[in-house]
Structure 1
Amino acid sequence: MTAVDVAGQGVEQDSRRLLESSQTLSYDPTTEIDWESPLPDDQYGLNPKWSTLYGTPLWDELTEQQRITLTRHEVGSIMSTGIWFEMILQQMILRDQYVKDPANSEFQFALTEIADECRHSIMFARICQKLELPAYLPPKNVIEFARAFKSLAGGEVAYAGALVAEEVLDVMQRDWMRGENVLDVVRTSSKIHVVEESRHMKFAREETRAHMRGVGTAQRHASAMLVSAVAYVIVSNLVSPQVYKAVGIEPRRGLAAARANEHRKSMLRNACAGLMEFLDEAGLLTRPAVAVYKRVHMI
């Protein structure tokens, strides 16, 4: 039996287990989240320590109500970015599974993941609507980069790229779902996302491992750079500088403070530790890629 055959069997077995898990532990956001309750004025949009300005002089200048307002806009920006990337992810998975055997568990779980991502995007969209937030979208050049990426990326680049976004958000949301001072709609949506995305991350890891088996040195280095570029784009655009306008801070000033924020850099490095370990194991943590990850403080 070849290494490719073994890899295929591994993906199929894992997909079967993930399908069984999705049948027993999945959520419907339309009923799980209390959409009708009013939003308490004293609850944050996300744990304050995950705010881009937490630990900076700018944060100290804000009133408590301004801090609450800022975190609500920040979580809205993160959710808008999540919707944007989930749309990219769905297209990449569809292309990867195009005309594959529908009897395979891998194919069926891939479609299950797409269905999950659709529900998650609607859930995030409804939260932004409930919080009465504007649509925080990435800059035009990033949108065009992503348009090309989702049309061309495949194999280990598609799945490892998806894993980057999922892993970073997962660590954040594990904190948010436990935050007693965080809005209930955010806490509940975080719980739903963490539980269901854990299956997606396992699937992405196994697909990445399978695609990396037998890959040559040139392709491995090229893939590593592409994945690091995706990571750079995602992390750099999680929170739009426009959120600072909500509390009277000029966007450039807020962005400068966020970029210099040592607390945030430390939080990101800790959040990405498991991801970097996996990328290293998969052969996707080359020296040039490490340099890119360091620029966005993922290492």
Structure 2
Amino acid sequence: MTTATTPGERRRDADPLARQTKKAAQLLIASAKHSYDPRVDIDWDQPLEDGKWFLPEKRISIYGTDLYASLTQEQKLLLSREELGSSLAAGVWTEHILMHLVSRYAYKRDISSPQVQFAITEVADEVRHMIMFARLAEKIGIDFYPVSPKTHRNGLLLKTFAPVPALWAMILLTEEFFDRFQREQANDETVQPVVRAVARIHVVEEARHISFARTELERFVPTLSKRKLEMLRNFLASVVKTIRHDRYNPLMYERAGIDPKEAVAAGRSNPIAKANGAYGAERIAPYYQSIGLIGGKSEKVWAEAGWLPDKAH
């Protein structure tokens, strides 16, 4: 049975601000019902299981290469651990930047509005996620990965000066991309149980952030001038380049006992690794195309990455 909507309700649903306010109110309720405290909701005392991966084997950056085939099983498992460790460090940096950006969004706005209340809720989520990632790094026995000086400098500028549309666009790009892999990790029984538990919590809570970011972008993007739209497209293309570059962190190969120069070269030329990137972008790329956030010079960057729908494998 369907419930008829009144003309007034239909007008409100068609209004971007009203639609975004309604979405924020719904997400606040979802947050109250489905939020986790990783300190108590994850069994950190559970031992690691021998022979299990730290991320699905097929997602290892050099999987399928001659170099990978030359490794022992122990080296392969160690590499999967270090690659997870590198991604956790990237996750902490990203969550930290997003926490600052979302705080800026809320700073001058009415605290009584559902949008601002959900933004503050999102900040609380990001704080818990940062601690959760740090606990996981400690649990699996890795030394945490440092952020490069260049990334550190860029982060200081980004969190201080990035405009609001860039905030939601960056949130959506990074969260949608990594969400694809975490959903897979959460359901892969070959992966360590503690890694799966962390992925499950992150997927549930980030789904709310993704939904909110989409409604914000759908409200903001149509208001951008041609110049500002082009700037936002180019900014997102730079995020794509950063994700691709940081995917092959030499330190994770070195820590796994593999020649970093050889491994970086193998990873960058690995067609399976490129296909993995396309897999991560399968949802976000067509969505950004549909709302106009891929186009002009930026389209070439997405195409070269193999992240556009007609370029994905």
Instruction: State the TM bucket, normalised to the shorter chain.
Output: over 0.9
Q: Does 1:287 align with 2:289?
A: no
What residue is the counterpart of 1:87 in the other structure? 96
- 1: CA distance between counterparts of 2:298 and 2:259? 33
Q: Does 1:13 align with 2:27?
A: no
Q: Does 1:52 align with 2:52?
A: no
Quick one: which of 152, 157, 166 aligns to 1:157? 166
User: CA 1:34 to 1:239, structure 2 compared with 1: closer, same or farther past 3 Å?
Assistant: farther
User: CA 1:239 to 1:31, structure 2 compared with 1: closer, same or farther past 3 Å?
Assistant: farther
Letter paired with 1:73: E
Shift of 1:238: 4.0
Task: State the secondary structure of the residue aligned to 1:287.
Answer: coil
Number of equivalent positions: 297
> 1:5-62: per-residue Cα shift (whole Å, max 9, x none)?
9322121111011111111112221122110122122111100011101111111011
Shift of 1:225: 0.5
What residue is the counterpart of 2:176 in the other structure? 167
Letter paired with 1:140: P
User: CA 1:196 to 1:45, structure 2 compared with 1: closer, same or farther past 3 Å?
Assistant: same
User: CA 1:297 to 1:241, structure 2 compared with 1: closer, same or farther past 3 Å?
Assistant: farther
Letter paired with 1:244: Y
- Native 8 Å contact 1:81 1:137 kept in 2: no
- 2: CA distance between counterparts of 1:198 and 1:167? 9
With normalisation by structure 1, the TM-score equals: 0.95
What residue is the counterpart of 1:143 in the other structure? 152
Task: State the secondary structure of the residue aligned to 2:233.
Answer: helix
- 2: CA distance between counterparts of 1:201 and 1:239? 26
- Native 8 Å contact 2:82 2:256 kept in 1: no
Shift of 1:246: 2.6
Quick one: which of 277, 281, 284 aligns to 2:286? 277
What residue is the counterpart of 1:251 in the other structure? 260
Task: State the secondary structure of the residue aligned to 2:158.
Answer: helix
What residue is the counterpart of 2:46 in the other structure? 37
- 2: CA distance between counterparts of 1:164 and 1:242? 25
Relative contact order higher in (CA < 8 Å, ≥ 6 apart): 1
- Native 8 Å contact 2:183 2:199 kept in 1: yes
- 1: CA distance between counterparts of 2:152 and 2:108? 28
- 2: CA distance between counterparts of 1:55 and 1:262? 9
Letter paired with 2:53: Y
- 1: CA distance between counterparts of 2:170 and 2:74? 37
Shift of 1:297: 3.5
Quick one: which of 103, 115, 121 aligns to 2:112? 103
Q: Please report the RMSD computed on the Cα atoms of aligned residues, expressed in angstroms.
A: 1.7
- Native 8 Å contact 1:33 1:185 kept in 2: yes
- Native 8 Å contact 2:125 2:205 kept in 1: yes
- Native 8 Å contact 2:233 2:294 kept in 1: yes
Listed as ranges, the matches of 1:175-254 within 5 Å are 175-254=184-263
- 1: CA distance between counterparts of 2:223 and 2:108? 23
Task: State the secondary structure of the residue aligned to 2:283.
Answer: helix
Q: Percent identity?
A: 31
What residue is the counterpart of 2:138 in the other structure? 129
- 2: CA distance between counterparts of 1:124 and 1:208? 28
> 1:96-133: per-residue Cα shift (whole Å, max 9, x none)?
11121111100010011111111111000001011221
- 1: CA distance between counterparts of 2:286 and 2:121? 27
Quick one: which of 74, 84, 93 aligns to 1:75? 84
**Structure 2 unaligned regions, length at least 5:** 1-10, 309-313
- 2: CA distance between counterparts of 1:202 and 1:105? 14
- 2: CA distance between counterparts of 1:117 and 1:248? 33
What residue is the counterpart of 2:32 in the other structure? 23
Letter paired with 2:176: E
- Native 8 Å contact 1:96 1:154 kept in 2: no
Please identify runs of 4+ aligned residues in structure 1 that moved more than 4 A: none
Task: State the secondary structure of the residue aligned to 1:213.
Answer: helix
What residue is the counterpart of 2:8 in the other structure? none
